[in-house]
Structure 1
Amino acid sequence: MAAISPEPPATSSEQTIQSRETPQPWSGPREGEGPLDPIYVFLMIAVPIIVGALFTYDHRNQGVRITFIILCGAMPAKDSTFPTQIERNMDSESFTYTSIPPGRNFRLLRILPGASDDALACEVFVSDLDNSTPYTALSYVWGNPDKVGNLELSGHACRITRSLSDGLRRLRKPDEAQVAWADAICINQNDDIEKGHQVDLMGDIYDNAHHVVVWLGPDPTTSASEAFRCLQTINYKLYTKTDKEYFYPDEKEMGTVYMKTEADPEPRAMSRPVGRRSVHRSVLGEKGTDCVGRLFDLSWFSRVWVLQEVGLAGSATAIWGDSSIEFGEIASFIWNVYYTEELRHALGDEITQKLSGAPLYSVWNVWSTYEKKESWIYRTPLLRSCAELIAGQCSIDFVLVLEASRYFNATNQLDHVYAFLGHPKARNPVTKAPWLQANYSLDVQEQHRLLAASLSQDSLNFLVQAHQTEESLRLESGYPSWVPMWNEKTENHADAFWEAWDASLRKEEGKTFKTYADGHRLRVSGLIIGEIDQFTRTMESSDFDVEKDFGGLLIDLCWDLAGRRPNPYSPKEVLAAFASTLSCHYKIRGNQPLDGRERVVEQLAGYCMHLNNGFYQAHLVPKHGDGFWNLNTVLEVGKSFTPSFKSHAVNRRFFNTTDGYWGMGPSAMQSGDICAVLLGADVPFVLRPKGDAGEYQVVGQCYMYNFMDGQAVMASRAGESGYDEREIILV
């Protein structure tokens, strides 16, 4: 969250924003005063330096946020506002926050009218959240704390970050006051109790806002107008299906094509055929790509608090410099980049990779999951379809929302969790109590443990976010393996999956399972379904580069391991089991169009036609009168295999168990680890026996064909041997 800093330095015990009457610039001794006392000069220079040094020590060792302003008083410059007598600083008035009354009350900011070059003046007042006057919420980044702006707050001079000052100026009008909310001013940042209470209300604060303005910052390179033009044009062309154009390729593009027949054996040049190509490159032009890249380089897109601030908005407008755009255009562009191969190619790898991180998780995991029907998401056709797709195929829970947390930055590491407490899924679906209350006195490890223990009351799906390395499993760090670190993204990070499966029948039967968190231990129940035997090397993102046939070479790697041990699959099931394991296939819910997503072997066939023809010829060519794959398989269906394979395989290994079952599991696995269905989790897990009998470390989630939709639970109920329910203690 952003911070407001006082103009004169305050003592560390004060929880006030100090200000004073506007003084005259210091310009040496006044007429008649005579020369300054040398002792006074010494004190005026030395004291601020000493105080600054002390506060710097406190900042580095105790975490106290002290701004650059404290250090600026060492030597008064020509335009310094330091008073000529030390006593005048002591007599200055100070702005002091009054306590917010209990209940759903919060502060608002009245921005007084003014011209663009007028001083910024505001008034702060307390309001009832449920009966407040309409207000605009400002979403912005803190910015460089060394760059400050002046603010007159309720008659007192204060200094705030330049980023906040610029954002408030964008909201100001010349002829009428504007009511706004900005966290740095409306929350007493020095009062952890108030801050925790107001953070709990922030979801409702943004939800109730009349409008949200996203202040992206200044535009020193004048890129905003061109970037916004590119986004709007590309979105429109994709939505109207006018993103392709016909053209006549020249000889350089396709060479000359010759044809000869038996009747006329002399080769003759054919007329040029008509081609069809994407218009994205022409839309981007010479400058567009760089301007779009600068847009998504802005720090706003990496700040964790923006997820809630925009996601809850009824309407949202982004402002960059002097240009503005409806925020739905930005989110639509992010979505289009993910799903449009030609657009990714036009933008290049650097921008595509940038958008596939934090921006994509913003759209998929957070903004599309608020289910606020009157929001900008549902007024944008593409994004409404996105939200409906996610709701139709995934069970939206708080774990899905938290998956985005580690892709963003936060000044306070606790905010990787607290920034999501305003989401409607941040509450127990039965008791409606919040999973966690904001409490800034906790350390990060304890916060994570408390949240994990709380989430276990509903499901164990949060375990998919516990990412381990071989080193972390060996170290006796005292950090439980079942507690995710929501503020960290490890080098071996693998995308979590759980939303579309039901390994323990938790969803189908609508039941909860008993768990018990005892300090660093979590007691659960589960079924052992296998023991890890052999596995491939860890598959990497670079394995899907063009020079490695976009992952085509991995097919042989995994197939070779799959054949090292007899498997339990029937001959007709083998290819389905193999293809499903590679892509972590799931059953399509409801009456979805038959677009090939449910035909996983056909997906693999289309993929291998292009990228591993040897495997295709050996295993996937239709035989025994089965006919041929249709043209749709060749051109379209196979495309859906690549993103699924890459998403689930990167930083994982293909493995087999001692019983011959196949799976896709964590990089940190080793022989002797077990695979288990934990009752209350929607996917299986790889666990490592540890210490006392019944104790296990969580190595990571896994996919195992024929165990993803409750088969092990049903086998246990049917009395099949080897599927006995047992207590499992996670440590």
Structure 2
Amino acid sequence: MARLSKISKRKRESTSSPRFSWSSPLYEHIPLPSTTSIRILELQPGEGTETIACRLFAVESARAPPYEAISYAWGRETDTRVINCENRKLRVTANLRDALWRIRDPVKVKLLWADAVCINQLDNEERGFQVRQMPSIYANAVRVLVWIDLPSSAFKDFDLLFDSDTTKYEDASEEGMSMGSASRILNEHVARLEVPGQTLENLDPDTRVVASALCQLFEAPWFKRLWVVQEIGMAKSVLALIGDISIDFVDLIRFILRLERRTVLMDELGLFIAGKANVYTTFPARSREMKGEVDDDYNFLEMLEVTRNKRASDPRDYVYALLGHPSASINGVSIVEPDYNKSATELCFEVTMKILEHSHNLRILSAVHHSEHSLDRGTSSWIPTWNRDVVVLSLGVYQDHYFDVEYDACTGMDAFWKLSEPDRSLEIHGFVFDVVEEHIETEELGDDGATVLREFDDLMSAMLHFKFLDGASPGERLAAVGQTITAGFRNQDPKAFQVEYVAFRHQLAQEALKYGRSISHELIPEGMDILYRTSGGRSIDDIYWAASRFCSGRKVFCTKQGMLGLGPAVLRQGDMCCVLFGAQVPFILRRIGEKWNLVGEAYVHGAMKGEAVVDWMIGEKCEKQTFRLI
């Protein structure tokens, strides 16, 4: 349950006199006595914008006094402020200084842990053994305090989100709203935004303020930071501090979960919040609080993939920041040890090999997402790089979590792989079943109704001019287009999807009238009205969600044999469509002499359930071969 409180507004300007000389020397960390020691920050009492005064002391982690750990976004490392640490100057980022202002008590000393000051960031060896301890540091804290700072312009809208006449709540007090009142306020705001198909145009002015506040909250730097996933996941208890508002973090998670599938509205707001809540609940402490409300069964590959769009200043932290997750251990041993003397390239190779060795499949290849630059730079094309910001929702990695579908392109055939040195090429088995003939770019769907309609219309009209499904009815061709741009996200028969998809097209057609547009006639085939009526018009959010997510960062293509597909943004005419033994989805490979580049995974309509394997087994079209990936 939430606990909402308001404290007096703090000014963000420094006006008080410093308690120490600004000519004091810089603070230097004293080396820790052992690899199991930690530093505790003792924050001295103070008010308002008085200069922060503190001291650091070392203690064995097993004997540490009760302390609270801070979870925050560092902010720009060049935007620093000076605090007083043992009468010496210690530079911290402005965001950490603001967090300490917010947390500081006017009369009591507070014991805290904050990574930027409690770890000597200039000592790689210390960083390594402190990172090993970070899961236990956050797990052993009495409470984790999440500092979510917002731009000053955002505070007004966000305060309005929670400002209510407390007298209408019978459990209100002089100190503010009770836990029950705060939860009711949250529920009231969410209910306004939960209407299926809701758009910005339909919102009343008060609800637009709510939407604006949500935009600014979920776009705060804290939600984009990678390390916070482990910090929240390991904590016993979490309190979010948002400006001058305090709220139980579990309620914030529920808030996000209820909104994340309202995709049309969220896209208009410029938000993609899917996965922003589930990722925290994959740790035991949070999953117990959210029992039955979330999907908490993530393996380490899935954790690497779902967090790759978060931010970390060091590329190696895209692995190290997740080592506290239960899936990061194999038979009780950490999948890797933090080592900041190791390169990011070497680390990605080590993690890939560990996952290959213990998974007995080729699922990790679905985590490869290339740019033109990364594919041509000469490094191994089959090794994922998790510090690359990608917009692609991986089919092979996410299928168990984001959509109800079971891909089985290889019909469960066992994986074979062999690593060859010194070029680190990977030999795998499979076969080519088709060749890319034509392709078209997909665009990220726009933020307003007119743009969305135009982009859907243009994309599907172009696809219908591909040479595919010769002799099929218009309805069957349309259903094939629909299933391709949604990557078959509903595990249902084509007739059922046809009903749902045509309903979606009719709803878009109705929306088009508002913008003076008409949907291409070929997209609404004659005789399909009865299908629309039987569907109940229920699917616009689900289909829009799938199409916008799966098309993002991909190209639609057609093969020589007339198959439709959704593939990597870097695919080219002449690339090969392949089934790889041990991979649940098809892959696009590119021949480089006698070797191959892994271009990326693909959805190929009519090849996702082993249809190509049947052709190979009866010897009609396909021939088994060994691919040497470089």
Same-fold call, TM > 0.5?
yes
- What's the CA shift for 1:441? 1.4
Q: Does 1:527 align with 2:450?
A: no
Distance, in Å, in 1 between the alignment partners of 2:430 and 2:20 is 77
Distance, in Å, in 2 between the alignment partners of 1:241 and 1:320 is 22
Distance, in Å, in 1 between the alignment partners of 2:494 and 2:112 is 47
Distance, in Å, in 2 between the alignment partners of 1:219 and 1:472 is 35
Distance, in Å, in 1 between the alignment partners of 2:319 and 2:420 is 20
Letter matched to residue 636 of structure 1: R
- What's the CA shift for 1:171? 3.5
Match of 1:97 among 31, 55, 60: 31
Structure 1 residue aligned with 2:282: 369
Match of 2:503 among 584, 602, 606: 606
The residue correspondences of 1:243-642 to structure 2 (distance < 5 A) are: 281-284=204-207, 288-340=210-262, 343-344=265-266, 349=268, 352-353=269-270, 355-356=271-272, 359-364=273-278, 366-370=279-283, 372=284, 374-375=285-286, 379=289, 385=293, 387-388=294-295, 391=297, 396-428=298-330, 431-457=331-357, 458=359, 459-470=361-372, 472-473=374-375, 475=376, 477-489=377-389, 493-498=391-396, 499-500=398-399, 501-503=406-408, 513-516=416-419, 518-542=421-445, 546-547=449-450, 549=453, 551-563=456-468, 566=470, 577-586=480-489, 588=491, 599-611=496-508, 612=519, 614-615=521-522, 617-618=524-525, 621=528, 628-629=530-531, 631=533, 633-642=535-544
- What's the CA shift for 1:617? 4.4
Structure 2 residue aligned with 1:247: none
- What's the CA shift for 1:119? 5.2
Query: Structure 1 residues 310-319 or 515-524, which shifts more?
Result: 515-524
Contact 1:527 1:726 in 2 (8 A): yes
Q: Which has the higher contact order (CA 8 A, sep 6+)?
A: 2
Distance, in Å, in 2 between the alignment partners of 1:95 and 1:644 is 51
Contact 2:227 2:321 in 1 (8 A): yes
- What's the CA shift for 1:620? 6.2
Contact 2:479 2:494 in 1 (8 A): no
SS of the residue 1:310 aligns to: helix
Letter matched to residue 188 of structure 2: K
Letter matched to residue 225 of structure 1: D
Distance, in Å, in 2 between the alignment partners of 1:400 and 1:336 is 22
Structure 1 residue aligned with 2:513: none
**Are the structure 2 counterparts of residues 721 and 97 from structure 1 closer, same or farther at C-alpha, using a change threshold of 3 Å?**
same
Structure 1 residue aligned with 2:187: 236
Contact 1:112 1:123 in 2 (8 A): no
**Are the structure 2 counterparts of residues 127 and 502 from structure 1 closer, same or farther at C-alpha, using a change threshold of 3 Å?**
farther
Contact 1:602 1:637 in 2 (8 A): no
Contact 1:525 1:727 in 2 (8 A): yes
**Are the structure 2 counterparts of residues 727 and 620 from structure 1 closer, same or farther at C-alpha, using a change threshold of 3 Å?**
farther
**Are the structure 2 counterparts of residues 277 and 456 from structure 1 closer, same or farther at C-alpha, using a change threshold of 3 Å?**
closer
Contact 1:608 1:615 in 2 (8 A): no
Query: Structure 1 residues 683-692 or 455-464, which shifts more?
Result: 455-464
Distance, in Å, in 2 between the alignment partners of 1:617 and 1:109 is 65
Contact 1:664 1:702 in 2 (8 A): yes
Q: Does 1:81 align with 2:32?
A: no
Letter matched to residue 320 of structure 2: Y
**Are the structure 2 counterparts of residues 318 and 228 from structure 1 closer, same or farther at C-alpha, using a change threshold of 3 Å?**
farther
**Are the structure 2 counterparts of residues 151 and 631 from structure 1 closer, same or farther at C-alpha, using a change threshold of 3 Å?**
farther
Structure 1 residue aligned with 2:599: 699
**Are the structure 2 counterparts of residues 321 and 241 from structure 1 closer, same or farther at C-alpha, using a change threshold of 3 Å?**
closer
Contact 1:676 1:685 in 2 (8 A): yes
Distance, in Å, in 1 between the alignment partners of 2:220 and 2:206 is 22
Letter matched to residue 592 of structure 2: K
Structure 1 residue aligned with 2:126: 194
The residue correspondences of 1:32-43 to structure 2 (distance < 5 A) are: none
**Are the structure 2 counterparts of residues 132 and 713 from structure 1 closer, same or farther at C-alpha, using a change threshold of 3 Å?**
farther
Q: Deviations over 1:545-597 (max 9, x none)?
A: 6335251332222122043x759x99997665443223111465xxxxx9x99
Distance, in Å, in 2 between the alignment partners of 1:610 and 1:112 is 61
Distance, in Å, in 2 between the alignment partners of 1:671 and 1:243 is 43
Distance, in Å, in 2 between the alignment partners of 1:631 and 1:93 is 72
SS of the residue 2:327 aligns to: coil
- What's the CA shift for 1:156? 6.3
**Are the structure 2 counterparts of residues 667 and 532 from structure 1 closer, same or farther at C-alpha, using a change threshold of 3 Å?**
farther
The residue correspondences of 1:146-165 to structure 2 (distance < 5 A) are: 146-153=79-86, 158-165=90-97
Contact 1:504 1:680 in 2 (8 A): no
Q: Deviations over 1:11-51 (max 9, x none)?
A: xxxxxxxxxxx9985xxxxxxxxxxxxxxxxxxxxxxxxxx
Aligned residues: 569
Distance, in Å, in 2 between the alignment partners of 1:517 and 1:172 is 57
SS of the residue 1:656 aligns to: strand
Same amino acid, percent of matched pairs: 24
SS of the residue 1:534 aligns to: strand
Distance, in Å, in 2 between the alignment partners of 1:672 and 1:437 is 42
Distance, in Å, in 2 between the alignment partners of 1:99 and 1:516 is 42
Distance, in Å, in 1 between the alignment partners of 2:64 and 2:122 is 25
Structure 2 residue aligned with 1:679: 581
- What's the CA shift for 1:120? 2.3
Q: Deviations over 1:224-249 (max 9, x none)?
A: 422455997774037668967xxxxx
Distance, in Å, in 2 between the alignment partners of 1:630 and 1:209 is 56
**Are the structure 2 counterparts of residues 689 and 24 from structure 1 closer, same or farther at C-alpha, using a change threshold of 3 Å?**
closer
Over the aligned positions, Cα root-mean-square deviation in angstroms equals 4.1
Contact 1:448 1:483 in 2 (8 A): yes
**Are the structure 2 counterparts of residues 710 and 439 from structure 1 closer, same or farther at C-alpha, using a change threshold of 3 Å?**
farther
Letter matched to residue 99 of structure 2: G
What TM-score do the two structures reach when normalised by structure 1? 0.67
What TM-score do the two structures reach when normalised by structure 2? 0.77
The residue correspondences of 1:114-263 to structure 2 (distance < 5 A) are: 117=50, 120-129=53-62, 133-144=65-76, 145-153=78-86, 158-174=90-106, 176-217=108-149, 220-221=152-153, 222-223=155-156, 224-228=158-162, 235-237=186-188
Query: Any gaps of 5 or more consecutive residues in structure 1?
Result: 1-21, 26-79, 83-88, 245-275, 589-593, 623-627
Contact 2:431 2:578 in 1 (8 A): yes
Letter matched to residue 521 of structure 2: G
Contact 1:597 1:640 in 2 (8 A): no
Contact 2:32 2:58 in 1 (8 A): no
Contact 2:81 2:94 in 1 (8 A): yes
Contact 1:606 1:639 in 2 (8 A): no
